[in-house]
Structure formats: C-alpha cells, structure tokens
Chains A and B, each alone.
Chain A
Amino acid sequence: MRSTVNLHVNGEPVQAEIEHRQLLVDFLRDDLGLTGTHTGCDTSQCGACVVHVDDVAVKSCSVLAVQMNDCNVTTIEGLATDALHPVQQAFTDEHGLQCGFCTPGMIMTTVDILKRHPDGLDAATARKELEGNLCRCTGYENIVKAVMTAAGSHDHV
C-alpha cells in the first residue's frame, strides 16, 4: 500500500508516493539521498537517526514516513546553510566526535536539548538528556563538553 505524502524537508517541499511500512529514516536515506541521518540499531536505542519533525527531536527509525504529511522535517544537512550551527561548531571545538557515525544524531539531539533548556543546564542534566544517543568512540566526555559549550556554560563536569 502506498499513499501520497506532502511534506517539507530542510525547507524544500517534497511530494512522494510512500509505501506505508517505510520508516522515515529509510525514506530520507534511500529516496531523498539524505545520508547524513544514520541507522545504528533497529530498536530505537542509539539515536543515530535523530531528525527534527516540526522542531522536535524524533528518532526517524521510529516513525513511518507516511506520518509526515504536512510536517517540516529537518535533517543534519539542513541544520545550517552557510556557517556552522553553534552546536556543530561546539562538537568540533570540543572534539566531540571521532568516527562521526553517531554525530548527526548527537547534534540534532543537542539542538533539541538546548531548546528545552533555554536558561542553560548542568553537566549531569546534559548526561541524562543524552541517554537516548549511543556513542562507542568518545566515552561521551567531549560530547558533554560540546553540549555545555553550546549552552554557553563552562560547567564541564
């Protein structure tokens, strides 16, 4: 079964015939070629697939593409156009990435975290907020630093 879906992806209008069982992550990667969003686990544990749907962080492996009708989807490719987004900048400044595979999901999650903590957050809160995103390389320490730096805090513990 297929349905026609109209949505915006990174600001551009998209119309597509989508098989009902297709996951959003597969639609983004296979149909739109937006391969910055990754599949890391198949069980919604790792967060490598996090995108924003109507400005809220969503694991794109956990929603169907047909659910996206009339939605605005932002992927890592659409986070910033010319200059880097401050969260992207913080991840490279703090060496918050190594192999880079979890990084797009980490960055999209962090943007969402900072939105929900407009007055800043402490490092313990940042660690809790990152519980839905797995990284095998960094030990999270520099990811937490990147979150704190992007939040304008110097509390790195």
Chain B
Amino acid sequence: MSEQLKTGFGASVPRKEDRRFITGQGRYTDDLKLPGQAYAYFVRSPYAHARILEIDLAAALEAPGVIGILTGEDYEASGLGPLINGWDTRSRDGTPAVMAHRAALTKSEVKFAGEAVAVVIAESRVAARDASELVMIDYEDLPVVTSAVTALEEGALQLHDVAPGNLVFDWDTGDADAVESAFATAAHTVSLDLNNSRLIPNAMEPRAANAVYDPGTGEYTLHLTTQNPHGKRALLSAAIGIAPDHKVRVLSGDVGGGFGSKAPLYPEEVVCLLAAKQLGRPVKWTAERGEAFLTDAHARDHASNVELALDADYQFQALRINTIANLGAYLSTSGTLVPTIMYALIATGQYDFPAAYVRVKGAYTNTAPVDAYRGAGRPEACYAIERIVENAARQLNIDPAELRRRNYVTEFPYRSALDLEYDTGNFTGLLDKALDMIDYTGFQARRAESEARGMKRGIGFSAYIEIAGFGPSKLLSTMGAPGGIWEAAEIRVNGSGSVEVITGCHSHGQGHETTYAQIVCEELGVPIEQVEVIHGDTHRGAAGNGTAGSRSSVGMSAVQGACRKVIAKATDIASHVMEVPVKRLVFKDGQFIDTAGNVAMTMVEVAAAAYTGHDFPTDVIEPGLHEVSFFDPANFTYPAGCYICEVEIDPETGVTRIVDFVAADDFGRIANPMIVHGQVHGGITQGIGQALHEHCAYDPESGQLMTGSFMDYGLPRADDLPPFRIEFVETPCPGNPLGMKGCGEAGAIGATPAVINAVTDALNIEDIEMPATPARVWRALQR
C-alpha cells in the first residue's frame, strides 16, 4: 500500500494531535501564565432583573492584592462599543431585528442572573475572588419574565425600551397563502404543540481569556477559548473598537470543546482587553463552571405549533410552523440567525412538500442570551418535522417508515418549497440501511418479549437533513450575512520539504491536525509526519471564518486548492531544474516525472530547489513555494441520515433505557472514518442528552437558574448510553471538490426526535416534555 493510501483522504489515520493530550502537554488558555500575570474575577448580578442603585468599591479596593476594579461606568467612559448581533435579520414588514444595547459591563439595569456588572483585577485568582465579595451593590429587584411565550403576551413586562412587547423580530419564509389553501382541501391534517427545550452547551473546558496590551506597539494579544479567532478579531476591531485589526492578535491554542458556545463574542473577553490596557498588566479570566452555566450562550428554547396536511394517499401537501423563540436578555452574535435561516429553511426535512410556511417570532426574556449549539436551528427543525411525521403515522395508522418512504425527495437536484436546492442525497437508501441495521421486522417480537418482562418497548425514527458547510457567501448575503463566509488556506512547503498548512478553520476536538494533513499527504505525496497543520492564530493566517456548522469541508477544499497551486508552481520549478518542458512532466506519488525520459524529481527535491535555486528566471519563476487559496461553495451541503432508536421503559420507575440505536448517515465522501464515527458518537450523545437528561430550568418567579451545576444539569454519563451502530451511505457532494458534506452536527440533530418518538411510542402518548426524565415518564404512565 502506498503512503498516500495509508495516510491520505479516506484512511482512518490515528490522530497526530493526540500525543500532547494524552501526556498532559495540551496548551489550553488557562494553562498560560504570563510574566506579571493579573487575574480577573467578575462581579455578577444575583438578580435576573434589577436596577443598579449604587456601587461601593471602597472596601474591595482596600482588599489585599487588588490592582483595580472596573464597572459599567468605566466601560462607558472607555468609548468601546456594545456587543452586537452580527446578522441583518428583517421582520416580515422589512424592519430590522430590534437590538437592545449590551455593554460588556452593565451600568444601570441588569436583565439576567449572572450578568457582569464589575470586574476585580488582582494579583491572584483567590485575591480577586475574595475582593469581589466586598464589592457592595444596591439593587432594586424588578419583576421578571423567563418564558418567551409569556414575554410576547399582551401586557407582559417590558424589558427593553427599544423593543415594544419584547419582540425582537417577526420573521417568516414560504408561501402562507398556498399553505392555507392546501390545508383547506387536505384529506387529513395533523397538529402538534411542541417545546424544544432549552439547553446549556457545557464544553468541558470553561471559557477563558488572557489579554495583553503592549504600549510600545499599541498591539493587543488575546489568548482565548474560541472557535473562530479571525471572527473574534473582526468583531473586536470593527464592532467594539478595541484597535484596528492588525493591532489585535487572537490566539486560541488548544480549545477544550466548543459546540457553538465558543463562537459568539462575550463580555468577559472585551473587558479583559480593556483592563489589560488600563492597568498595564496581562489579565486572565477563567470561568468557573457556575459562570459557564449562567453566562455561556444557551440554546434551543422554542415553543412551536406544527401542522401537517396530507392528501388521501398520505402524500404531504403542506407544512406550517409557528414558532416563538427565546433569545434571552440580549442578542448574542448569531442570536437572530439561528432561529430564522438556520432553522426554518430546512423545516421540510427530507420530504417533498408542494407548499410550506414557517413564521418565527423572537422574544427578549430575563434569561441568558441564546445562540448556536451543535446543530444550531437544524435540531429544532428536525424535531418539529420528525415529531409531526411520526405522530401523523400513528394517527393515520400507517407504518412510520412507509409514510416517510412515500414522501421522500427522490430526484436531485431538488428545489424545496422553502427555496433550498438539495444537491444530492439517497434518503430511501438511508432508511433501508437503518431498517436493516435495527431488524425492523423483528421489532414486534422484541416488544412482546419486553412486555413479558413487564417493560414497555418503543421504537422511534428520525430522518434528518441539515444545511451545512457554511457558507455559500453569495446565497448567505441575501439572507443577512455580514460578509463572505469562505475559507482560506495557506500552504508553505519549506526548503526541507516539510509542509505547514495554515487554516482559518479551527479544531477544538475535530482532529483537523490529522484530516487536513491527510489532504496534503494525498495531494503532495509527502509523508504525513512532515505536515504540520496550524490554526488558531490570526497572525499566522491572514483570514478565516473558524469552525462552526460543519464547515471543515470548506476549509479542506481550500487546503486542496492551495496544494494544487503548489503543484503548479513546483512543476515550473521542476521543469526549470530538470530542463524538461512542463508538458512532458506529470506529478504522481510525490514525484515530478519526465514522461519521455527516465528522470524524476521528488517534491522534497523541488522544495529544496525552490529556496536554494540561484539561476531562476525570476521574471517567470519566483523562488519559494508558498501558496494561498480561498474556497467559497456555491450551495450549502446537505448531510442527511436515518436514525432509529429503541427504548425500554420500566413502568415501576419511569426509567427509560435506550436498548438500541442505529444511525445511517450520508456525509458524502469521508476524510477519516475513525474521526467521523467519533463525531457521530458525540453528536448522538448530545441529542440523547436533550431527550432524556439535560434540563435548563429557570424559576419563572425569580429568574434564577435552577440547574446551574453538574449536580443539577444532567450531562450524559457513560452508563446512560448504549453502544451506537453507525453505517454510512455515501452520495458525494457536488458542491466542493472533495465531495464532502460534513459530519459534526448530524448526531445532535437526528438523535433527539428519534429518542422522543421511541419514548412516546412506548408510552402510546402524543407528546412528552424534554427531557423525558423518569419523573415525567412515570407521571405520563399514571394518566
């Protein structure tokens, strides 16, 4: 087997990055201790809604080790800008989404529990924390509203003066009239009210920032737990006004998981930069887990009515969804994007609908801001469509697999009723694969066997599809994107033949240091050991858009593009050195071969010549071997799959056990199956977490977060989970040269409805609130 086959595209190459992680040599943001390091501790509002009457800093400023304290007044005086929503979302009447002012430190009125009102900077973490307890703040406690539905009701408490009725936007897509007439003539209609429960992402590494200001150069350096260093730099520079972008360096080192929650800009990172400049010391802040629960962007939290119209043959005629989305107290960076574009456009799922309409109202509440979390909008869409389809099958007494099969999109490309062009797919093939994997025909026997043991068994389907691979910049620009969402890659082939790959994508667990190296190995024919993938430093790579929305395929395509440019230039160099015309050269297995002779040069030899050549005709061939490439897809990618879950419920205790879970996924071509399996395992687990364990609960009276630690919030544990069975059905994506669709979010999108469909099947009920805890299941059984 050639080197490329063992380590190239499609091979399960062991991860290059593992060694530092398994030996404790990972370098996460909090690991860094700079000379003169100072430490920040944030003073946070204990109230969900309160007026700040007075702040007394005297005692805190006298506390040992305190260097300085900043408040909302200091932030206002600094002239720095507010944190913004980065997406131009327009309501149905054309008005822009209402963005309430959000300073990085709040001066007069707090709107959610945990909101930062001051920061203490001290010589040590404990000194800062001790002193923070001496910051005396008088609050006037105000009433709260935590539910988006309540917030939009007539006469509800008003949160922001700029947002009458707490309405952020009233947005829609699709053809309301066509849907209306389809419902008027439908043979069958099915309706379901659904809550998509609120979640807290909880990457294992808490957020952290370490900010440095160099008064000599005027340059800021921010070590940060982020998924998108270049995006952060752009926001810090253009929106906040810290400094021009070339004076802001964002470095992300190793990042311990993101799942969307490390994509938005947060107040603490801005405040650390301000404090570093004002106090002349590097300022580090690391969230405690309690702060992560309170202030990391939360997720989901939709209340929807979903309606399905079918004809007499059970063909889908129309889909109508009305959703109220809770956006929290302020708009996070992608606050309006997630519940609109990312959610509604894909609402028709894998099915052919003649007509569809989705209307979403976004609301302010006294809760933490809501933003992207694994899947970001698409899990909410999948939950809506897959729950209504399953319920329709039960109500109409048709097999859920058959109802899906009858309505799948089968011809591609396919223009959906919500105006997406599904480029390719094989939905029937995915269903057949999943049915085979779970042994669908044997289910009734398994159910009887469970019943004989006094257990209730259920089966649930989920046929998910997502839009991923962000983004098609041209398309997104029509949807309010702030700018192009292409990806950049630089390839530097050094004189020794070693290769540096600099990408604007970012790895925080995805394994890019391996998969991106595989592309280079495949393209350039160099051993994978000689390839170093560099990410997470805005001074190393000029441009990028980070990692979110399974967009590594975009980054990988850029890497491939840069490799092709390198080969083109290396061919010129080889031609010059070998004195063989370019047209006689072919590049194969890392060698430039003269097709008319028996001479060849390896890429390593060409690389050496590129830097040591003394007789280049420099008007034709410039020395060096360093290329940059950008890739911007013309369409989204459409990863899709079929998941089937079987649960067994103990009616005595209400405990749900997942007894089998199968996943048939279509990710197009796959760079590294080992890594893709791992991504799916993690995604499915997060989806199961929402369905059965994870519960973000605010007290509606006080606005206090009641699930603010791992003792209260059910993060899935090893013994909560079954082993997963995963197989792939590949339909290569035509939208990028590698044929990839992306795999990062699929599990989290597809798993949740599969589990709840199985639970409701076992209980023979229409709906159950998530998470379907033993208490809720037990109560459902008593009805």
Using CB atoms and an 8 Å cutoff, list the residues of chain A in contact with chain B: 19, 21-22, 26, 29-30, 33-43, 45-46, 48, 75-77, 79-80, 84, 88, 91-93, 95, 97-104, 107, 123-124, 126-128, 130-131, 133-144, 156-157
Q: Given A35-B24, A88-B23, A98-B678, A43 and B715 touching (CB < 8 A)?
A: no
Contact assessment for A141 and B724 in the assembled complex, using a CB-CB cutoff below 8 Å: yes
Q: Name the residue of chain A whose CB is nearest to the CB of B723.
A: A157
Q: Chain B 18-30 against A: per-residue CB contact (8 Å), 1 yes, 0 no?
A: 1111111111101
Tell me if B203 is interfacial: C-beta within 8 Å of chain A.
yes
Q: A98-B511, A100-B509 are in contact. List 18 more A-B contacts (CB 8 A).
A: A34-B24, A36-B24, A38-B256, A42-B288, A43-B711, A77-B23, A79-B23, A84-B19, A99-B508, A100-B18, A101-B257, A131-B718, A134-B717, A137-B509, A139-B685, A139-B721, A141-B724, A142-B678
Q: Name the residue of chain B whose CB is nearest to the CB of A130.
A: B718
Distance in angstroms from A34 CB to nearest chain B CB is 7
Can you give 6 contacting A-B residue pairs, CB < 8 Å?
A35-B24, A97-B21, A100-B17, A102-B256, A141-B681, A157-B723
Chain A residues with Cβ below 8 Å from B15 are 92, 95
Contact assessment for B22 and A136 in the assembled complex, using a CB-CB cutoff below 8 Å: no
Chain B residues with Cβ below 8 Å from A107 are 22
Chain B residues with Cβ below 8 Å from A93 are 14
Q: How far does the alpha carbon of A48 sit from the alpha carbon of B511 in the complex, in Å?
A: 20
Interface residues on B, range: 35 or more
Q: Given A97-B21, A100-B509, A139-B724, A40 and B678 touching (CB < 8 A)?
A: no
Tell me if B677 is interfacial: C-beta within 8 Å of chain A.
yes
Contact assessment for A43 and B289 in the assembled complex, using a CB-CB cutoff below 8 Å: yes
Which one of A88, A97, A134, A156 lies within 8 Å of B723 (CB-CB)?
A: A156
Q: How far does the alpha carbon of A79 sit from the alpha carbon of B23 in the complex, in Å?
A: 8
Contact assessment for A41 and B289 in the assembled complex, using a CB-CB cutoff below 8 Å: yes
Contact assessment for B289 and A37 in the assembled complex, using a CB-CB cutoff below 8 Å: no
Distance in angstroms from A128 CB to nearest chain B CB is 5
Chain B residues with Cβ below 8 Å from A102 are 204, 256
Chain B residues with Cβ below 8 Å from A127 are 718-719, 721
Which one of B25, B204, B259, B718 lies within 8 Å of A48 (CB-CB)?
A: B204
Q: Which residues of B in the span 86-132 have a Cβ within 8 Å of any Cβ on A?
A: 125-126
Q: How far does the alpha carbon of A22 sit from the alpha carbon of B715 in the complex, in Å?
A: 28
Chain B residues with Cβ below 8 Å from A124 are 719
- Give 7 nearest A-B pairs by CB, closest first: A36-B24, A101-B256, A100-B21, A99-B509, A139-B681, A139-B685, A76-B24
Q: Which residues of B in the span 710-754 have a Cβ within 8 Å of any Cβ on A?
A: 710-711, 715-719, 721, 723-724, 747
Distance in angstroms from B30 CB to nearest chain A CB is 8
Q: Which residues of B in the span 167-226 have a Cβ within 8 Å of any Cβ on A?
A: 202-206
Q: Give the total number of A-B pairs whose CB atoms are below 8 A apart.
A: 184
Classify the interface of chain B: helix, strand, loop or mixed.
loop
Q: How far does the alpha carbon of A120 sit from the alpha carbon of B659 in the complex, in Å?
A: 24
Distance in angstroms from A16 CB to nearest chain B CB is 15
Distance in angstroms from B707 CB to nearest chain A CB is 12
Which one of B23, B681, B721 lies within 8 Å of A36 (CB-CB)?
A: B23
Contact assessment for B256 and A99 in the assembled complex, using a CB-CB cutoff below 8 Å: yes
Which residue, of A43, A79, A157, has the highest number of chain B Cβ atoms within 10 A? A43
Q: Name the residue of chain B whose CB is nearest to the CB of A135.
A: B204
Chain B residues with Cβ below 8 Å from A22 are 126
Distance in angstroms from B692 CB to nearest chain A CB is 14
Q: How far does the alpha carbon of A68 sit from the alpha carbon of B674 in the complex, in Å?
A: 41
Q: Name the residue of chain A whose CB is nearest to the CB of B259.
A: A136
Q: How far does the alpha carbon of A123 sit from the alpha carbon of B717 in the complex, in Å?
A: 14
Contact assessment for A77 and B202 in the assembled complex, using a CB-CB cutoff below 8 Å: no
Q: Given A138-B682, A139-B684, A95 and B674 touching (CB < 8 A)?
A: yes
Q: Which residues of B in the span 229-270 have a Cβ within 8 Å of any Cβ on A?
A: 254-257, 259
Q: How far does the alpha carbon of A123 sit from the alpha carbon of B710 in the complex, in Å?
A: 24
Which one of B254, B678, B710 lies within 8 Å of A46 (CB-CB)?
A: B710
Q: Name the residue of chain A whose CB is nearest to the CB of B291.
A: A42
Contact assessment for A92 and B681 in the assembled complex, using a CB-CB cutoff below 8 Å: no
Q: How far does the alpha carbon of A107 sit from the alpha carbon of B26 in the complex, in Å?
A: 14
Contact assessment for B682 and A84 in the assembled complex, using a CB-CB cutoff below 8 Å: no
Q: How far does the alpha carbon of A52 sit from the alpha carbon of B340 in the complex, in Å?
A: 49
Chain A residues with Cβ below 8 Å from B25 are 36, 77
Chain B residues with Cβ below 8 Å from A99 are 203-205, 254-257, 508-509
Contact assessment for A136 and B682 in the assembled complex, using a CB-CB cutoff below 8 Å: yes
Tell me if B33 is interfacial: C-beta within 8 Å of chain A.
yes
Q: How far does the alpha carbon of A148 sit from the alpha carbon of B290 in the complex, in Å?
A: 34
Tell me if B510 is interfacial: C-beta within 8 Å of chain A.
yes
Chain A residues with Cβ below 8 Å from B435 are none
